[in-house]
Structures are given as C-alpha cells and as structure tokens.
Structure 1
Amino acid sequence: MNYELINGVTPQSPVWPRFKQWAKEANAPFIVLQSLPGLLGVEKEEDVHLRSVIDFLTKRRYTSGNYRFFNEAPVPDGSEIYMSSDGAINIIYEGETIGLEVVYANTRRAIKQIDYFNPDGTHDFTEEYAFDGNHYSNLLYYNNALQQIQFLNNDGQVVVRQYLFDGKINLITVEEPSTGRILNRYDNLISFLTATVSQMVTAHDTVRIHYMGVEMNALSESPAHNVLRLVESPFGDDGAVRGFLLMILKDEIKYIQEVELSKAAYHALAMQNIPLSKATIIDDSLSDPY
C-alpha cells in the first residue's frame, strides 16, 4: 500500500493542493503525525483520506454525520451554558464564568473544545472533542502552563499520555486503557513517532515524505520502502547541497531508499558529481534549483 506521511494538514500551504493530487494519483492515504481531533471534518472538507498516529494507538473510530451541539456539552453539574450577544459561549456556575466553549468552524456550532479556568483566571484544563462529538483528549495545566495531554479512546479511557516540562514533551506513555498498565514509554516525541509509524506500515508498503524534518526522522525504523519527494531546491541559500539530502544520496541515511526530483534538480546535482543511484526523475518542477 502507498502512504503520504505528513506532520500536519496544511490547507493554507501553497503546495498542499499538489500533495493532495499526488496522494490521489497513488491512491495513498495520509499518515498524520500531529494529533487531529477534527480529522473527520478535514477529510470531508479536503476530500482526502487520513490516518492519525494518535488514533492508531487509541483505536479511535469516527461516526460520520454525528456531532455534538454546543448546548449538549457535558459540563459540570449545576452549571449552565450561555451564549452572549457577541457569540462567546460561556460555562456559568453560581454566577461565575468557569469555562469557555470553542466550536468547529463552518458547522452549526458543533463543540470543538471547552477551556476551564481557576478562580484566579489561570488555565485549569481543556477538553477537546472530535468532529463527531466524542471526547478526544484532556489538556491539564499547572500555573497556567501545559503539563500533560491525555488522549482517549472512544470509551473515554486514557491510552496515551504526553508529559511536558518547560513547554517540551519529556515523557510519553502508552497504556492499557482498562487497567492503566504502562505498555510502552518514550523519552521524547521523535522516539514515540518513530516506534508508532513502524507499527503502522509494513515491508510491502511505500511511504513518501516531502520534507527532511520530523517526517524523515519518523521513518528511521520504518520497514517500508521510504521515498523523499523533493518539494524544494536541492541547494540551500549558501549554494551547497542540503545536508540531509546529501547524506541520503551518499547512502549515509539508509532508511530513505529513494529520492524523487525534477530533471533540472537531477542534472544540477550531477554537475557536482553527487551520487545519484538513489535518485529518480519525475515530471514536477517544485524541486527545480533556484
């Protein structure tokens, strides 16, 4: 099977339409590294097929056509949901605002998340909801700083926890949802993504990436045939071949087995005697040299 691996869905990017075109031509779903509570809505809006790393672990399933109205949010007992004249949706308890609701754009006010606050106004926690209205995650704060993210399955049980310190993820655990027993633990996001992506693909698959950042790192243990399709010049601003690209072409990075690039990029690299045994010319100009 073919896959396109991306960090996140970026409809505002000028190259996103090209990514979608390639995915359709290859009959390839997108594997998305970032969490995406609105996956169901994005699939419909962008006419794409998406597979989320987080959803793979939580085994989340979406129900098309379902949604949860803002006034159906599961708020604390005794509190009320009130929409003000400016459209803000407040959670009121004993006359005080304890939370605010956010809804999905271009919907009939389908709930997206609820932000709850401490009496001093600092952030307490956030509940995120999937596009179909199912509880997706909890974001926990202390002293107004994000401390932990809990990703839930369809039954509301925690499966993945991400712990943060000074704004950076420094521990991730994957749990057995019914008992809380830790199945796997990772010291950083990259090791978590690398391990999970390697479980999502097989040696019979082809996975294509477009950038040499987190997407490439996430493939370091992938058993699939991994392909980099260049969407930028092979040369940096200094005129030298981009470092990771050179390492791939020299086979110093072995887990990327193929590089797809334009004829102009291929010939420009050949002029510098760069090894090109892993290079394949494609009919696309995004990787043309500046």
Structure 2
Amino acid sequence: MNYELVTLIRRGNPEWEGIAERLHCEAEKLISVLPSPEFSKSIEDLKFEGINLFDYLTRRSYDLSQSLFFNRAPVPSFSEIFMNEDYSISIIHEGQEIGIMELFQNTRRLVKNIQYLHENGEKDYIEEYAIDGKIFSEIFYFNNLPQEIHFYNDKKIPVISYFFYEGRLEYVSLNDQRTGEVKEGFKSLDSFISEQVAKIITSIDQVRISFLGLELTALSKTNSHNILRLNESPFDENGEVKGNLLAILTNKIDYIQEVEVSLETKQSLIKKGVPVSKVKVIRERKKEYES
C-alpha cells in the first residue's frame, strides 16, 4: 500500500494543499501520527482514507452524527455557561470563573475543550473532546505546568499516557484497554511513535513524507520503501545542508531510499558537493520522475 505520513492534517496550510493533492493522485491512505480530536471529520471532509495513530491504538470509534454543543457541555453542577461579549465562553460557579471553554473552528459551536482553573487563575486540568462529543483526553497541571495527559478509549480508559517532569515529557505509556494498567513504557514520544508506526507499515508498503522532523523519526524502525518529498529548504540558516537531509544523502539514515526535489534544489545540492544518488527530480505537473 502507498501511504502519506504526516504529523497532523493542517487544513488551510499551503504546504498541506500539496500533500492533499498527492493523496488524491498518488497515495492510497494517510497516516497521521499525533493526537487529533477531529481527525475522523477531516478525512471524511477531504474524502481520504486514513489512520490516526492515537485513534488506532486507543481503538476509539466516532459517530459523526453526534456532537456536543457548548450549552450541553458536562460542567460541574450548578455552574453557568456564559458567552462573553468577545465570544469567549466562561464557566461560572457561585459567581467565580472556574473554567474557559474553547470551540472547534468552523462548527456550530461544538466543544473542543474546557480548561478548568484554580482560584488563583492557574490551570487545574483540561478536558478535551473529540469532534463527536466524546471525551478525548485530560491534561493535568501543577504550578501551571503539565504533569500528565491521558488519551482515552470509548470507555474512558486511559490507553496512552504522557508523564512530565518540570514541564518536559519524560515517559509515555501504552496501557491495557480494559484496565488502564501500563503494558509498555517509552522514554520519549519519538520512541513511542516509531515503535507503533513500525507495527502498522509492512515491508511491501511505500511511504512518503514531506518534512525532516517527527515524520522522519516516525519511519526509523520501518523496513518499507520510504520517500522524502522535500517541501522545505535543504539548507539551514548558515547555508549548509540540513543535518538530517545530509544524513539521508550520505546514507547514515538508510531507511529513506529516495529524496524527491525540484531541479533547482538538486542543482544546489550538487554545488554543495553532497551525494545525489538518492535524489529524484520531480516535475509536479506531469508527475514524471528522472534520476
């Protein structure tokens, strides 16, 4: 199968538009590797087939005929949902603002999250909702810094958990679907994502990515045929070839077998004296390739 792997669907982003065009023309399925409460709605709107890694692991289901309007949000008893003049939404309890509600953009006031506050105004926790109104995750804070994030299945059991130390993500766990008990632990998000992606993609698959960040890391444990369609400048702020790209071209990163670039980019790489045996020039309009 041909996949296009991205971090998130970023509708309205010019670079995303090129990815979307390739999905319609060249790929069979999208893989998104970061949590996205509206992923299911996005791929329905865009008419793609797709997998979101977090939805896949939590086995979350979606019923897009359902939704959660702001006036029906499950707030504490005797609280009032109040829309302010600037269209922000406050949760008021006994005359005090205890929370702030955020809505999904371009929807009929559907709840995206509710941020609850301590009396001093610091964050307490955030309830995040999926596009169909089911609880998606909870984020817990201490001294205004995140401490834990739990991503839930349909039964509100935490299947994926983040644990932070002084605001930095230090540990990711994959938990039992029935009990929430830890099954596997990972010392970084990169490690967690790369391990899980490698369980989905097989050796007969082809995967294309467009950037040198988390998308690249996500493929590090795969044995599929992997292609980088370079959508960013090959050079850093000092005019040198970016480290990850250079590692691909010199085969220090050997799990990317091809790098697709414009003719101009290939010529600039040749001038830098770097190997270009992996480089393919792509002509966007005709979808033709040459070495």
1:27 maps to which residue? 27
2:71 maps to which residue? 71
In the TM superposition, what is the alpha-carbon distance from 1:273 to its structure 2 partner? 5.3
Moved more, 92-101 or 52-61: 92-101
Query: Aligned letter for 1:199?
Result: K
Moved more, 81-90 or 225-234: 81-90
Cα offsets for 1:135-159 (capped at 9, x unmatched):
1000101112111111001111111
> How many angstroms apart in 1 are the aligned matches of 2:86 and 2:14?
33
Give 3-state SS (helix, strand or coil) of 1:212's partner: coil
1:149 aligns with 2:142: no
Query: Aligned letter for 1:112?
Result: K
1:10 aligns with 2:10: yes
1:128 maps to which residue? 128
Give 3-state SS (helix, strand or coil) of 1:5's partner: strand
> How many angstroms apart in 1 are the aligned matches of 2:83 and 2:212?
45
Query: Aligned letter for 2:89?
Result: I
> How many angstroms apart in 2 are the aligned matches of 1:231 and 1:81?
44
> How many angstroms apart in 2 are the aligned matches of 1:81 and 1:207?
46
In the TM superposition, what is the alpha-carbon distance from 1:67 to its structure 2 partner? 0.8
2:62 maps to which residue? 62
1:249 maps to which residue? 249
When residues 92 and 268 of structure 1 are mapped into structure 2, their CA distance, relative to the original with a 3 A threshold, is: closer
When residues 218 and 119 of structure 1 are mapped into structure 2, their CA distance, relative to the original with a 3 A threshold, is: same
> How many angstroms apart in 1 are the aligned matches of 2:121 and 2:161?
25
Query: Aligned letter for 2:224?
Result: A
Contact 2:160 2:172 in 1 (8 A): yes
Consecutive unaligned residues in structure 1, runs of 5 or more: 286-290
> How many angstroms apart in 2 are the aligned matches of 1:56 and 1:24?
22
1:288 maps to which residue? none
When residues 236 and 113 of structure 1 are mapped into structure 2, their CA distance, relative to the original with a 3 A threshold, is: closer
Contact 1:261 1:284 in 2 (8 A): no
> How many angstroms apart in 1 are the aligned matches of 2:261 and 2:143?
48
When residues 72 and 244 of structure 1 are mapped into structure 2, their CA distance, relative to the original with a 3 A threshold, is: same
Give 3-state SS (helix, strand or coil) of 2:41's partner: helix
Moved more, 95-104 or 215-224: 95-104
| Count of paired positions | 285
> How many angstroms apart in 1 are the aligned matches of 2:125 and 2:268?
53
Query: Aligned letter for 2:65?
Result: G
Query: Aligned letter for 2:16?
Result: W
Superposition RMSD in Å: 2.2
Describe how 1:153-232 pairs up with structure 2 within 5 A.
153-232=153-232
In the TM superposition, what is the alpha-carbon distance from 1:93 to its structure 2 partner? 2.6
> How many angstroms apart in 2 are the aligned matches of 1:203 and 1:55?
23
When residues 233 and 92 of structure 1 are mapped into structure 2, their CA distance, relative to the original with a 3 A threshold, is: closer
> How many angstroms apart in 1 are the aligned matches of 2:203 and 2:6?
19
Consecutive unaligned residues in structure 2, runs of 5 or more: 286-291
> How many angstroms apart in 2 are the aligned matches of 1:195 and 1:56?
14
2:91 maps to which residue? 91
Give 3-state SS (helix, strand or coil) of 1:282's partner: strand
Give 3-state SS (helix, strand or coil) of 2:71's partner: helix
> How many angstroms apart in 1 are the aligned matches of 2:123 and 2:272?
55
> How many angstroms apart in 2 are the aligned matches of 1:13 and 1:106?
16
2:115 maps to which residue? 115
Moved more, 75-84 or 212-221: 75-84
Cα offsets for 1:102-127 (capped at 9, x unmatched):
21122221111111112222211110
2:288 maps to which residue? none
When residues 90 and 273 of structure 1 are mapped into structure 2, their CA distance, relative to the original with a 3 A threshold, is: closer
2:278 maps to which residue? 278
In the superposition, the TM-score normalised over structure 2's length comes to 0.89
Cα offsets for 1:190-240 (capped at 9, x unmatched):
111111111221112111111112211111101221111112343445444
> How many angstroms apart in 2 are the aligned matches of 1:94 and 1:269?
65
When residues 204 and 141 of structure 1 are mapped into structure 2, their CA distance, relative to the original with a 3 A threshold, is: same
In the TM superposition, what is the alpha-carbon distance from 1:90 to its structure 2 partner? 2.7
